[in-house]
Amino acid sequence: MTDVWDFSKLSVCGYSTVTAGSLSSFDMARHFVLAVPKNWLRVRPEVVRPRIPFCILDDEPARKRRALDLSWLFNAVTAGTESSNTDQIKDVIAGLNSLLKERRFDDISRIYSVIPPKLLTPELMLTLLRVTFPVRMKILSWHSLLTKVRFELESRGLPAKEILIGLI
């Protein structure tokens, strides 16, 4: 026999019209169990916990993201590998800080995954890593950039462990 689910009573988040605040945890678990197929009912109701719903519970409407201004990155890459001046480093810091302020960690991660450290000066490589060090866990490609920078510094004959102290 096939179980039929009554989706008319389910909300967008997967819960029925009964709110979590109006039920005790045991009643909520029992209510949750009643919504699953009968072959799952071998689980005791006190063991079952309602899961966090897959819906956006944000009070603010979704904001449209601005287009990225990567002129600071273009200037850093095209400057060469010999030396960088203070203005270039300030531009890179300001560009990264604007992305961090907007919480665009995924965009920073994409930039870090494609940026070639061979085209950057050691100062700019270190700037990219040091500015984003506090949020490195949110930037998925931060550690891969650290590895690329370390190998690039070693290939240039520079003491990578001393330069990257505190990051490794």
At residue 24, the pLDDT reads 52
Angle between helical axes of 71-78 and 86-101 (0-180°, round to 10): 150
Q: Where are the domains of the chain?
A: 11-63, 71-163
Retrieve residue 19's tokens.
């709110």
Q: What local confidence, expressed as pLDDT, does residue 29 receive?
A: 46
Separation CA 162–CA 126 (nearest Å): 12
- Is pLDDT above 50 for 13? no
pLDDT, residue 135, reads 92
Between the CA of residue 53 and those of 1, 6, 43, 106, what are the distances in Å? 29, 18, 20, 23
Render pLDDT for 112-128 as a digit per residue (tens, 0 to 9): 999 989 989 999 999 99
Does 130 score more than 90 pLDDT? yes
- Give pLDDT, residue 131: 94
Q: In the prediction, which pLDDT does 28 show? A: 47
Token look-up 């990051």 returns: 167
Could you tell me what percent of the chain has a pLDDT over 90?
Answer: 38
Q: What does the CA dihedral 108, 110, 113, 115 come to, rounded to 10 degrees?
A: -70
pLDDT digits (tens, 9 = 90+) for 18-74: 444 444 544 544 444 445 455 544 555 555 455 545 444 444 455 566 788 888 888
* Statement: residue 91 has pLDDT above 50: yes
